Amino acid sequence: MQTFFSGLLALILFLPLQVFAQQSRPFQIHSHNDYLQKAPFWTAYAAGASSIEVDVILKDGKLMAAHEVASIDPKRTIESLYLDPISEGVKTGLVIPSSFHLLVDLKTEAYSTLEILRKSMENYAHLLYGSANPEGLKLIISGNRPKPADYSKYPEWMLFDFQSKELTKELPWEKIGMVSLSFRQFSVWNGKGRMVEAEREKLQAFIDLVHSFDRPVRFWGSPDSKSAWKAFHEMGEDYINTDHPMDAADYLSKLPQNVYQNPSIHEIYPARFEVDGAKVPVRNVILMIGDGNGLAQISSALFSNGNQLNLTQLKNMGLVKTQAADDFTTDSAAGATAYASGAKTNNRAIGVAPDGRALENLPDILDQYGFSSGIVTTDQLTGATPASFYAHHSERDDAEQLAAYLPKSKLDLFIGGGKDRFAAQLGELEQAGFELVDDLGSWEAERVGYFAAPGSLPKMLDGRGEYLMDATSAALDFLVKKGKPIFLMVEAATIDSGGHENSSGMIVSEMLDFDRAIGRVLQFADEHPGTLVLITADHETGGVSLPQGDIASHTVELAFHSDDHTGILVPIFAYGTQADEFRGVYENTAVFHKIMKVIEGKDHQ
């Protein structure tokens, strides 16, 4: 009973994963050598394993759960580790015996061992499969087995594991529960990289042959890695062999979320590079921030878009260190404040130094140089990144306090969501000269504000459409008509959300949306010499890597180390006038100082 209660505790702890796996997974797991788990049966059952293996040795009339005689423990029998816990679990409603089978691998002579097994199972008759109990437990006998001609002599609940490449219709298929072979009969693949195609074809042919007889297939001695699990799943192996059922279930259950196929390829704008890096004065600066957008996020979009992006045309690149003043890993508030003011601050702080002192931001500073400034975001306008370009407050979530700064700012344009946050400021915004417009049209006012949504904007996967492209175009058209130098910050905010939610589809679709806006900005830069375009991120989110993909089908698999921000370097791309100033590896605060350097034209006086 002690084994049962320890197993029951494990089940309770793992039950949420079991329910999730059973509801969503299009795969089946075989828990190999399951009796070696810390919690035999329960670990595999909690992982949703459909096949659970126990090696059995007949010793002194008892069925011991062991691989060899030397490892026999008198307390570890098939009854104590499996049949008793299953029986108790069925009584309490925790175990559904039809959701799995026991694969009993006989290590001793077949006929004598099966005789004892059959007698032992009389005590568990209420559990067992039969015509009167179609939802009962099945046992599949592996290892030492009787002759196929004798299979029919055994009860309904006892099936057999057939182990041969020679499959014919004359076999007693009604008593064959699965077909198993050693993986090494087909391949020497170690589970890293990709299987040799000729070997993969042999394996696939055997899987298809077994399926032609309407039976499941399993391979023992197979590689036990994420790459292997995915390969076997894609090939249609019915019971994926693993010593790590929880890890395999977690990985395979997340594959539908981690693999994304881009349904629509966008054409890139062919940048001219006529003044790229030219040492001429900077008239316009466009800073584009992909929130949470690291190198893996960019790569996933690149490979999903036919191996081309507007962004990846660019030749001047650098890497940015993102640490906050008080933490190794920054948030968007401290990260955007560094870009807007050139100073490190604490996480959660917007436009203020660690001591609370207000920091001048780029729109305020550039107003003194005759610039007209604007911000565009897919976030609410009180979000950390856009707010860092107009507000000064120590807590990023104090939306009402942040909103109060917008009428006082030097911005001539704002576009974003979150109108409800500004209920108390609408009158002040109009008094400050902002015309609050209802669409992304052609505007004649001196200052313009466009609230794109009362709250948050939809994600691309939820139908946001061409908002970012249209908003960026409208902002550029409006600002350039003023006849002044311009500063525009454009934020693609929801790449970050994809990292937090570990959603490959969200990351790729949001990054591709950002790239379409990048193409529009590159076109503007070519049409307006003297424009500097900077494209970067405040931080990376999700600890994303890109283990596999297929460029031809626009498909990528992302993997996630975290659901939070990370401290990894983020790329910065530069295009246009003096773009080469942004090469190298430097702190996020240096982006501000480099912008000021090229605007002040210190190298040209």
At 43 the three-state DSSP class reads: helix
DSSP 8-state secondary structure symbol assigned to residue 350: B
pLDDT (average), residues 218-241: 97
Report how far residue 387's alpha carbon sits from residue 126's, in angstroms, rounded to the nearest whole number.
Answer: 66
- DSSP category for residue 394: S
Distance of alpha carbon 420 from alpha carbon 107, whole angstroms: 71
Question: Where residue 39 falls among pLDDT bands split at 50, 70, 90?
Answer: very high
Q: According to the model, what pLDDT value does residue 354 have?
A: 98
Instruction: Give the tens place of pLDDT for each residue, 588-599.
Output: 999 999 999 999
* Domain topology for 297-568+588-604: Alkaline Phosphatase, subunit A (3.40.720)
Mean residue pLDDT of the chain comes to 94
Indicate the Cα dihedral angle 391, 393, 399, 402, nearest 10°: -30
**What's the CA gap between 532 and 530, in Å, rounded?**
7
> From CA 231, how far away is CA 225, in angstroms rounded?
10
Nearest to 581 by CA among 592, 570, 565: 592
For residue 198, the model assigns a pLDDT of: 97
Per-domain boundaries in the chain: 2-15+30-256, 297-568+588-604
- Nearest-angstrom CA–CA distance, 530 and 551: 36
70 CB contacts (<8 Å, ≥6 apart)?
none
Task: Give the bridge partners for 102, in sequence order.
Answer: 52, 139
For residue 14, pLDDT beyond 50 = no
pLDDT over threshold 70, residue 288: yes
Fold of 2-15+30-256: TIM Barrel (3.20.20)
* 168 Cβ contact list (under 8 Å, min separation 6): none
Residue 350 pLDDT:
98
User: How many residues would you count in the chain?
Assistant: 605
| Mean pLDDT of the region 361-380 | 98
Q: Is the pTM of this model over 0.75?
A: yes
Residue 7 CB coordination number (10 Å): 27
Give CA separation, 507 vs 128, 304, 539, in Å. 48, 11, 14
Q: Which of 228, 232, 229 is nearest to 249 (CA)?
A: 229
Dump pLDDT digits (tens) for 152-210. Answer: 999 999 999 999 999 999 999 999 999 999 999 999 999 999 999 999 999 999 999 99
The 3-state DSSP class for residue 12 equals: helix
Query: What is the enclosing helix (H) or strand (E) of 560?
Result: strand 555-560
CA 300 – CA 260 distance, rounded (Å)? 9
CA dihedral (313, 257, 250, 143) positive or negative: negative
pLDDT band at 602 (very low <50, low <70, confident <90, very high): low
For residue 243, the 8-state DSSP code is S
The vertex-266 CA angle with 515 and 508, nearest 5°, equals 55
Residues 538-560 pLDDT 10s: 999 999 999 999 999 999 999 99
Distance CA 93, CA 482 (A): 72
Q: Which two tokens stand for residue 71?
A: 């490892």
